[in-house]
Amino acid sequence: MDEGWIPVLDTAGRRRDVGLLELLTLAGDIRTIACELPTQTFALLRLALAVLHRATDGPAGQAAWRTLWQDRQMPVRDITDYLDTVRDRFDLFHPAQPFYQVADLRPGTATTFGLERLIADVPNNMQYLTSRAGSGLQAISPAEAALWLVHCQAFDPSGIKTGAVGDPRVKGGRGYPIGVASAGSLGGVHLEGADLRETLLLNLVPVDPRWRAADERDLPVWERPPHTAAEEPASARGPFGVLGLYTWQSRRVKLFGDRQAVTGAMISIGDPIDWQDRQLLEPMSVWGRSAPREKAQKRPVVYLPRPHDTTRALWRGLQTLLPPPSSGSEAPQRLAPMLVQWLAALTVSGAVTAQYTVRQRATSVAYGSQQAVVDDVYTDALTMNVLLLVEDSPLRTTAVDAAQDADAAVRQLRSLAANLARAAGSAGAEQGAADRAAEHGYALLDRGFRDWLAALHPDSDPLTERRRWQRHVRQAIARTGRDLVDAAGPAAWTGRPITDRNGKTLHYSSHQAEAWFRAGLAKALPLAAADPDQQQEVA
């Protein structure tokens, strides 16, 4: 509540640690939560939102939300009064109900507990490439332990855990896998405003029948009886709404140490969660239809959360972040996060002005080896005008089409690289050459697209803006294509005849590959190709 443990950057750019009470009541003076890992930030934001939902009693709908948005201060009295009622549940070392832990958790056999399973960025086996070794793994401060505790409940990998006494699921002293922790399955998305106050409110989706029904059983973990080692019955745990989801106890944990230092942690399996068709309960994830489950369950539509592709920049899948266009009776393949749909509704109603700019930040984890280890932590963000979230907005269509323009141009660059490899007689090297060229092409376009997207505003002319983007793409990709041709070498200049699968023989050379490339690029970017000045520049 009061002691500093949450790292933040204030609006002056200074880093400091704050307690939960200060985080919420002085959010207007804080720029952002600034943790070591983006997954820590995401988990802490969900914790803070659970408190804010309870302190604002919902909020009850758009009118209540608009009042909070227009008041330039946080509801300090409501937050303070609420936290006072649950203060004893936020003590990390409480003897009976320690924060996010089970007080009497103990293993069935003698076991030594370290910190490596609690701290997510420490490799499980060969700890060579890590900044934590030796004394760094012997003890950490209670403040840091609290951060990793919240992170563990949200993103802990699957795998075998320590078997806890009192858990009937334990066999041979082991707790067998129940899946990754709750947020680990999500394609996490949250909205960022100019400061933490705006960020909190933008992600505070009200309890409104149009978005999600209120359920009196939906409570944060600190308002429910303390957990035991055993799994909570499904009928009691839910999930019944965001309060339970934001504070879901995926693991049973006990920290070892005192108020000077934490030296170890016991982590056991907790409550599993089935994410199927929870899109109306969980507002902070991208969702997609699951064809295998639809077939297996013989159901027309089944949605599951979709973690982000860690190999792709966020803008390349821009359409997944925007509310899908109406498709009649056909259920969309992808669903944007509900909080994005909510902000679109606020924009249409005028609660948020059309001039407002928001940043969508994506966060997710890629797990490996049967989801028992963390392979990669992904985060990316896009700044955009709120009108891009509105379904019938021309800017929305322009932005999605612009991302597809980039894909179309890079496909031509891939073909050029592959054709140059064929011309040089590099059998089997076509795929590698194409992949390297595509990676380079997307890297060239990355900053340009982000800047172009952020510059769109209500007065932007869609056709003019898309033409401007296509010119930028053509210039960058054409220049890269010339570099590939120049570097192809004498063998590719001479070329060679190649017979395709249909028996047709073509002569592949760098000159012919470049001709195909130019023609394909002009077709992919017609607005740029139609401009005489641009044609002359590229030529």
> Could you read off the pLDDT of 493-512 as tens digits, one per residue?
898 888 877 888 888 899 99
Please list the residue range(s) of the chain that carry CATH number 1.10.132.100. Answer: 394-538
Q: Which residues contact 125 (CB under 8 A, 6 or more apart)?
A: none
Q: Residue 537 has what pLDDT? A: 42
Q: What is the pLDDT of residue 132?
A: 59
Q: Where are the beta strands (DSSP E) in 392-504?
A: 496-499
Sequence-ordered alpha helix ranges (H) in 424-460: 430-455
Specify the amino acid at residue 239.
P
Helices 62-70 & 338-349 angle (0-180, nearest 10): 80
Amino acid identity, residue 441? Answer: G
For 352, the token pair is 């948020």
Which two tokens mark 499?
Answer: 């017979």
Cα angle: 530, vertex 531, 535; to 5 degrees:
95
Residue among 182, 162, 44 nearest 114 (CA): 162
Q: Do β-strands 251-257 and 262-269 pair in parallel, antiparallel, or remain unpaired?
A: antiparallel
Strand partners of residue 253: 267
Give pLDDT, residue 121. 72
Q: What is the pLDDT of residue 325?
A: 75
Each residue's pLDDT, cut to its tens digit, for the chain (539 residues) gives 999 999 999 999 999 999 999 999 999 999 999 999 999 999 999 999 999 999 998 898 899 999 999 998 999 999 999 999 999 999 999 999 999 999 999 998 878 788 988 998 765 544 444 555 555 678 999 999 999 999 999 999 999 999 999 999 999 999 999 999 999 999 999 999 999 999 999 999 986 555 555 688 899 999 999 999 999 998 888 899 999 999 999 999 999 999 999 999 999 999 999 999 999 899 999 999 999 999 999 999 999 999 999 999 999 999 989 987 776 678 888 999 999 999 999 999 999 999 999 999 999 999 999 999 999 999 999 999 999 999 889 999 999 999 999 999 999 999 999 999 999 988 788 899 999 999 999 999 999 999 999 999 999 999 999 999 999 999 999 999 999 999 998 998 898 888 877 888 888 899 999 999 999 999 999 999 755 554 444 33
Beta carbons of 91 and 99 less than 8 angstroms apart: yes
Q: What is the pLDDT of residue 120?
A: 81
With a threshold of 0.75, does the pTM exceed it?
Answer: yes
Task: Give me 442's structure tokens.
Answer: 């997307």
Contact 270, 252 (CB under 8 A): yes
Which listed CATH number (1.10.132.100, 3.30.70.20, 1.10.10.10, 1.10.3720.10) goes with 394-538?
A: 1.10.132.100
**Alpha-carbon Rg of the chain, whole angstroms?**
27
Which element (helix H / strand E) includes 148? Answer: helix 142-155
